[in-house]
Structure 1
């Protein structure tokens, strides 16, 4: 059977005409459209400022002055007839481009290849799990398309390298802000007895469990919760076992700073708090917060403008 081809149709407009254009398209029968708007993008960034310190300049540049609507139809006679119906009475100019075969949605997979991180870990995308693993490496299988946490970002690599250094085999690990579960699953692959993980995004729960299952890790060793330890006392109480040899937090400075004040509730005596996701211009603030919270910084690592700290409760 011939592969399905798709046509991407782009209507460039402006902020004043956007709502009217969308209303006209909806009235013409369009049930799904993608809207890209610089003003909405900037508003989203501002409303979610606590969750990042840095947005890539190239992304900001790509969104500069953008206000457009995207539609998708099959690249054939039926699709073009449908497009003609959708655009009836629409005076906004448009451009169209073929997206090729029906696997275009997965074309991003070519950018993810197995990679070594640290001395032992070898991160493998699930579609390459049949490829051989280099001798001496511990494979960590992952679906990079599910949610944040692929191992390619410098902050994650800093945390994974620290995990290799500080994770104690046979001891439990806590992962705060787990995303894909990459850190806690890596800890289990490297010999942790069990792991608990938390993320504010409920979708992360199923994603982390799915990635764990790819690595032969079941729920008898791995527990994932949705919630915010900064605002949910019940969740904090559940996690306050005081026996975690390693607590991981690959988040941002604005979360790590208040988190440092209560991390002692989770740590076992002598346990390590490993935090990353800190842009270098804010590392001083984080170091000061760790100090105020009674934590002693044992190590600071830097990579590509990002910083990770390893700290223990001061004796």
Structure 2
């Protein structure tokens, strides 16, 4: 079967002209288009921490000052006739980019390459698992197409560095706000006996289990739950049946602060509460909340404007 060819149509515009352009396109019959706007992009990131791992400095720079609309047509006479109709009355210049069918599904894969983190962890996209892993590195296989965390965001890397230091071989780990499961799965490949992971988003359950399977980890060692640890008392009681030498929370400051009041319910006597996802301007506020709830911070790591804190119950 011959591969379908597509054209991506891009119209650059301004904040002031955006609404009018979208209205005109809709009026001309365009049924679907994407808006790329720097301000919307920033708002989206602030409200959706699960996508932080997909955003690096290069992408932020590419979005700077951007305001544009994109839609797609078939790369043939019919598609070009349709384009002419859709652009009736629109003065903005446009660009055309040719796309093959395979580009839709696989072109994004070129952005994900194996990535060392810390001293031992080596994050590998699952389609590159047949390639050699550097000596002394522990591979962690992920499918970045599963959304949630891929390990490239500074807050996740800070937590992974902490995992190398605080994972106790042969002992369990609790991951609160697990997303893709990257941290709890990493703890298992680093030698933890078992892990329990929790996320408020039910979609995270299947994602974490699938990433665990990529690493040969089954449900005998890994359990993933959906729920809110701050408000669900039955979930807290279930989790607190076991005590953990390491509890992880790579979330955001506004969640870590109330969560710090519960952390002690899950920790062993000398257990470590490792939290990240904290923007540097709020690190002191989070540390104060930890200390108010009986936790003593003994290690602080910083990277690219993000902070992780490691704490134990004060004696």
Q: TM-score range by the shorter chain?
A: 0.7 to 0.9
Aligned pair count reads: 312
The residue aligned with 1:198 is: 198
Deviates more, 1:255-264 or 1:298-307: 298-307
What's the counterpart of residue 149 of structure 1?
Answer: 149
- 1:162 and 1:270 map into 2 onto residues whose CA distance is 16
**Given that residues 244 and 266 in structure 1 are in contact (C-alpha distance below 8 angstroms), is that contact kept between their aligned partners in structure 2?**
yes
> In 2 relative to 1, CA 224–50 (structure 1 residues): closer, same or farther, beyond 3 Å?
closer
Q: TM-score, structure 1 length as denominator?
A: 0.85
Question: CA shift at 1:124, angstroms?
Answer: 0.8
Shift of 1:142: 0.5
Deviation at 1:153, TM superposition (A): 2.1
Per-residue deviation at 1:203?
A: 2.3
**Of 121-130 and 216-225, the range deviating more from structure 2:** 216-225
Task: Determine the C-alpha separation between the residues in 2 that align with 1:58 and 1:228.
Answer: 34
Are residue 269 (structure 1) and residue 269 (structure 2) matched? yes
Partner of 1:136 in structure 2? 136
Q: Specify the alignment match of 2:186 in structure 1.
A: 186
Q: CA deviation at 1:284?
A: 1.6
Q: 1:68 to 1:177 in 2, by over 3 A?
A: same
Q: Secondary structure at the match of 1:104?
A: helix
Shift of 1:49: 8.9
Are residues 1:160 and 2:160 paired? yes
Distance in 2, Cα, partners of 1:76 & 1:217 = 48
Pair 1:113–1:63, CA change in 2 (3 A): closer
Show CA shifts across 1:73-106 (max 9, x none): 122223223333444x443535132243333343
Hey, what does 2:90 align to over in structure 1? 91
Match of 2:254 in 1: 254
Tell me the residue number matched to 2:99. Answer: 100
**CA offset at residue 271 of structure 1?**
1.3
Contact 1:11 1:92 in 2 (8 A): no
Contact 2:270 2:312 in 1 (8 A): yes
Q: Deviations over 1:185-221 (max 9, x none)?
A: 0111122122111223332222111111111111222
SS in 2 for 1:311: strand
Pair 129,232 (structure 1): closer, same or farther in 2 beyond 3 Å: same
Pick closer, same or farther for the CA change 1:313–1:200 going to 2, 3 Å: same
Contact 1:245–1:271 at 8 Å: present in 2 too?
yes
- Matched residue, 2:172: 172
Alpha carbons 1:7, 1:96 under 8 Å: kept: no
Displacement of 1:275: 0.9
Residue 3 of structure 1: CA displacement? 4.3
Structure-2 residue corresponding to 1:214: 214
SS in 1 for 2:101: coil
Local SS of the residue matching 1:82: helix
Q: Secondary structure at the match of 2:213?
A: helix
CA distance in structure 1 between the aligned counterparts of 2:215 and 2:107, rounded to whole angstroms: 24
Q: Per the alignment, do residues 124 and 64 of structure 1 end up closer, same or farther by CA in structure 2, a change over 3 Å counting?
A: closer
Aligned-partner SS, 2:275 = strand
Moved more, 154-163 or 73-82: 73-82
**SS of corresponding position for 2:261:** coil
> How large is the RMSD of aligned CA atoms in angstroms?
3.1
Closer, same or farther: CA 23–281 of 1 in aligned 2, 3 Å: closer
Q: CA deviation at 1:290?
A: 1.3
Q: Give the secondary structure class of the aligned counterpart of 1:288.
A: helix
Matching residue of 1:35: 35
Return closer, same or farther for 1:20/1:303 CA change in 2, 3 Å cut-off.
Answer: closer
Tell me the residue number matched to 2:295.
295
